[in-house]
Structure 1
């Protein structure tokens, strides 16, 4: 019997699918247009189409892994459930007050993002837990009767419960949670300590409120997928969902702790970037995922993915382990426009999947980045989806001429090239935010572009950042889906543990790390996987600081001297100084446990000595002039082939642009490695 695994990554414009046959080691790639009104429709349609393409049967499919944007879109579009918050008396306004900081210090019109739960639906009860977990005021459940009656009258679907210091002693939250679940099984209940065991009441309450707001929506979405799969004769098929931390979890767990899927979509691409770096021997990677609506950038240093310390979504705090991914509104569907000052702007508005760019012929009227690339010859009219979608260059020319070129008194080509330069500037700013602003030199990194539009823009991004090496994956347009198949089961456990390091015993840290590791392994035990790998971190800061830095703890017993030395070195690297004479404070402990789900997806190939032949040539616009440019088919290139620029490499899911001063070589893993000619 065949064993087939399918990964599905839902994007704003396309839904990407990758099928892996473990018996034959065959990978099959496919894309279908996304259905934003109900993403599950495109998901099931894509599964049916890809198994037909691969020539396998429904019963051969053993596993589905899904990267979804449902949680993210629910928050951004404010289309979540009618939710309530129950909190400690006197603290109902924590969600509104937030941290009292001013991110836009000189913006007199700045406004905070409204809380997901309105003040009218935030309720207080009398209870009090002290900072050390001591009960100061016991909770009386009798006060819940009137509160729940009011909640039912308001039609509340979900309740978030967040009390002070519950990350130290969660007993009061547990009492309230059990009481509500026993009497109101139709209402979802989220307890803050189950989502975060770290200090910071605002961050914990915000995370809990976010989970309560999204939970009913996510549960309904996953139920629709389950029903649609059953109707399509996929019975009892295991479905896993990508987590924001780069691992996967079961669909049932995702329905309960949906806040861990906020970065479900882009996380798969970062995992794929990590695998690419391992294959190519490149320890430092910048992943650049440019799709139809957004540009997601992440950093991998020494084969380790960076994690976010203080994450936010739409201005709201999120305290959950998640990859450090920075997103800007720059994609193939980003709309070009002229502002009131007469300057050319691109994005963040996007044409999305419907109506899409003007050249799609689906009713779009605003010129986009895709239209500009088509006019410049960088895209062919029959490039998208292997010719299944034919583009209209005349419509693109008319849109850019009338709305950009003529108002700015530019030629058509200059206007199109200007659109590309403006959107590239947004993307290089995003790359700098995760590298230069974090103390890393981007010149020491390799750029890994993917997404449908990433390889088209990679050469210019690398030039702007002075990055000398580019590596393009074998299937750029579906790389995030490939990353889903490469992901492991993963659980992260973090616990606040505030102590001065020189007053802490190594045994106490060892004991807590063992407890956290046991809890994380229990989280994964239901998957019945063979073995686990564990990484341990300590959050450290100088006494008096407000923010901590994660420092990895080596295997075995904790070495307190090495821990302090490692923190000083990391502080020196990030901030340019260290205070060796100042006391170091331990803030939290973090354990990450992983277990492999999938064997290696691809094997290296032996290089050949032949020269590749282009399929044809066409004029392409580079830096103010047209060049006759050879066009190569990606499926005709194999390990050892070299392509000198100017050139274009086309494939089903993406197009790679090689500039006149560049050379591309196919490595043994089938990846295109692009460098400047020496």
Structure 2
């Protein structure tokens, strides 16, 4: 079975090349996804062999844990690290910098009169009627006001220069920022997306006056209209730039020292790949990097199992990521939703939602007596109480140990010590005794509250956006996803759960085989009633040529290259757009009407209203160049009968609901080894399936079957 991961990302400079596509067919590919608790690694060989590994993350310097994990993985695979030709990486470094507000000191040079644009923002407030609220983008400023410097220059919306650039003033401001020791300078001029001449000249002056500083230009980072979002994105890129760039440089250096190719590629928020050099220059593209890889991997797993429409639930130690992909296609976030923490980031982002719900989520009782689980997490250190690393607060992992779902020897095949008595003590002290309830009820309460949070997140991204969960399959990913998925599927009437062969490293698998996609946008501003066909044709032709040249520079042949078009549309008078797929073929009146019709249909799905008699405004046009990467072949497993008894290793006591209406009860449940299961095996729930990187729970009145690729398919039992 072959699978292809369909992804996209913003364009990089032609000089930032991938290895020639013609050389990829015989490569060993390494995928590394760094999470808050664990770092997941997978090595794919061209003979179809897949080796997986999982190691604790090192939060102080993720490159340390990454390289340690690579060394351990290479030993496990009996492979020389020097034989790894391609290294694909998903990282949370840039995201964590933003969320923790610990970026570098930033200066900004902008157009006279626009000094306070970052402060004013969109004038929207988190609480509409509070006069005393703190506005996050003002409390944690990306660029302090004293470092926001203005110079005389002006370009209009057509790109015409109204006021020339005052170069002497630019030099003076750059020298001032150098004296103040800023680590990065953001440059954002009005209408630079139409004409970047002034910004490019400022870049030259900065390089002359302050060559070591990190430079971020709005025309290179976010070349689209909407000045606040463009300014914010440019400032974000500068804020995370120095630290992220240094991290990538360290990783590339260490990989090179280990003999691994320094051809490192990083996942972007849109689900595509950029080179290490491009990522260092535009690190804002890495926001939500690792999160998207889980969705991409889930899409491929669903397609390989014959169920292309999937909802992915990727539950790690710190968070749960939820994605919805109808027919296996990634949906892109609306401009209003492309945020990271408290800031707008006008970069393409796949539709994935992250909530604070994971295996390390801490259960507590707040000052008002309310029982809460998450978003606070025990992380990798000290971790859940049962790990015996100093953690004393109860987590969801501790709860599932008490419930009997996680056995002492189930963690990383017994390589991690688990102490059930510490889990029980933590839950008793912090939850059961204060609530005057039993240990078992407290543990089940922890699971139920956390599962409800995940159920609500899935509902938000499916039912409330016009999709019926009953039309999808739920792909359970991450170390903890298969522990929750059986219950969530029942709550939302999702017909089946798909548990990948290696659920704990699905995000790392998602990094391995991505079609390379360069997205090139520009602003068009025309209407379906009176479309400027000549303008549209010229812009799309130029964008197509640019995308093709970049793919050709990467070594793709004409046969491997294809193009897709999309348009950001809105009704005339609306403030924000929806992206619609545009047809191929000649750009003419019929083409414009097809785009308008696609917008009417999408608007109806999203908002339950459509206005076919209204004109549609075509705001931005986009061309995506696709370079087809050789597909990964997943090995099939041995075939067996329906009887799974050969994989049965023991039985255990587990607390679970025996029917939908009753209280949970202790039952004797079979425990199976995932490695011993064969294609065709069937398992009646309740049951547990254990493997190196995860544990799967099969609920009462559920039946699991194993497909030819080793994926476990859980459905409601018909017996």
Fold shared, TM-score > 0.5 on shorter chain: yes
Equivalent position of 1:640 in the other structure: 680
Q: 2 CA distance for matches of 1:629 and 1:53? A: 32
* TM-score relative to the length of structure 1: 0.97
- Measured against aligned partners, the alpha-carbon deviations of 1:577-596 in whole angstroms (never above 9, x if no partner) come to 11111111111112222223
Give yes or no for the alignment of 1:460 onto 2:487: yes
Give yes or no for the alignment of 1:91 onto 2:123: no
Correspondence 1:404-415 to 2 at 5 A: 404-415=431-442
Structure 1 residue corresponding to 2:268, chosen from 228, 243, 246: 243
Equivalent position of 2:528 in the other structure: 501
Give yes or no for the alignment of 1:307 onto 2:339: no
Which stretch shows the higher mean deviation, 247-256 or 178-187? 178-187
Equivalent position of 2:573 in the other structure: 544
Correspondence 1:486-497 to 2 at 5 A: 486-497=513-524
Give the secondary structure class of the aligned counterpart of 1:62. strand
Q: CA deviation at 1:202?
A: 0.7
Structure 1 residue corresponding to 2:654, chosen from 613, 620, 627: 620
Correspondence 1:250-399 to 2 at 5 A: 250-310=275-335, 311-399=338-426
**Quick one: structure 1 residues 508 and 638, their matched pair in 2 at CA, closer, same or farther if it must change by over 3 Å?**
farther
Q: 2 CA distance for matches of 1:323 and 1:316? A: 17
Q: 1 CA distance for matches of 2:688 and 2:53? A: 21
Contact 2:583-2:594 at 8 Å conserved across structures: no
Q: 2 CA distance for matches of 1:159 and 1:526? A: 30
* TM-score relative to the length of structure 2: 0.92
Q: CA deviation at 1:598?
A: 4.1
Contact 1:332-1:369 at 8 Å conserved across structures: yes
Contact 2:82-2:258 at 8 Å conserved across structures: no
Equivalent position of 1:45 in the other structure: 68
Q: 1 CA distance for matches of 2:203 and 2:231? A: 15
- Measured against aligned partners, the alpha-carbon deviations of 1:375-395 in whole angstroms (never above 9, x if no partner) come to 000111111111110111000
Q: CA deviation at 1:404?
A: 0.1
- Measured against aligned partners, the alpha-carbon deviations of 1:93-122 in whole angstroms (never above 9, x if no partner) come to 111111112343355654222321111111
Equivalent position of 1:141 in the other structure: 167
RMSD between aligned residues: 1.6
Give yes or no for the alignment of 1:583 onto 2:612: no
Q: 2 CA distance for matches of 1:309 and 1:164? A: 23
Q: CA deviation at 1:284?
A: 1.7
Give the secondary structure class of the aligned counterpart of 1:640. coil
Contact 2:518-2:624 at 8 Å conserved across structures: yes
**Quick one: structure 1 residues 244 and 365, their matched pair in 2 at CA, closer, same or farther if it must change by over 3 Å?**
same
**Quick one: structure 1 residues 485 and 13, their matched pair in 2 at CA, closer, same or farther if it must change by over 3 Å?**
same
**Quick one: structure 1 residues 337 and 227, their matched pair in 2 at CA, closer, same or farther if it must change by over 3 Å?**
same
Equivalent position of 2:562 in the other structure: 533
Q: 2 CA distance for matches of 1:34 and 1:109? A: 40
Contact 1:447-1:462 at 8 Å conserved across structures: yes
Q: 1 CA distance for matches of 2:597 and 2:171? A: 54
Q: 2 CA distance for matches of 1:359 and 1:544? A: 58
Q: How many residues align?
A: 676
Give the secondary structure class of the aligned counterpart of 2:613. coil
Contact 1:506-1:557 at 8 Å conserved across structures: no
- Measured against aligned partners, the alpha-carbon deviations of 1:520-547 in whole angstroms (never above 9, x if no partner) come to 3334444323422322111111110111
Q: CA deviation at 1:66?
A: 0.7
Which stretch shows the higher mean deviation, 531-540 or 448-457? 531-540
Q: 1 CA distance for matches of 2:52 and 2:255? A: 20
- Measured against aligned partners, the alpha-carbon deviations of 1:298-331 in whole angstroms (never above 9, x if no partner) come to 1101221111122001120010111111111000
- Measured against aligned partners, the alpha-carbon deviations of 1:56-106 in whole angstroms (never above 9, x if no partner) come to 113211111111111001111122222111111111111111111234335
- Measured against aligned partners, the alpha-carbon deviations of 1:520-576 in whole angstroms (never above 9, x if no partner) come to 333444432342232211111111011111111122124122111111111111111
Give yes or no for the alignment of 1:568 onto 2:607: no
Equivalent position of 1:609 in the other structure: 641
Contact 1:116-1:209 at 8 Å conserved across structures: yes
Contact 1:268-1:487 at 8 Å conserved across structures: no
Q: 1 CA distance for matches of 2:579 and 2:438? A: 52
- Measured against aligned partners, the alpha-carbon deviations of 1:419-461 in whole angstroms (never above 9, x if no partner) come to 0111112111211221122222222211111001000000111
Structure 2 residue corresponding to 1:479, chosen from 506, 523, 536: 506
Give yes or no for the alignment of 1:423 onto 2:450: yes
Q: CA deviation at 1:127?
A: 1.0
Which stretch shows the higher mean deviation, 555-564 or 444-453? 555-564
Contact 2:125-2:135 at 8 Å conserved across structures: no
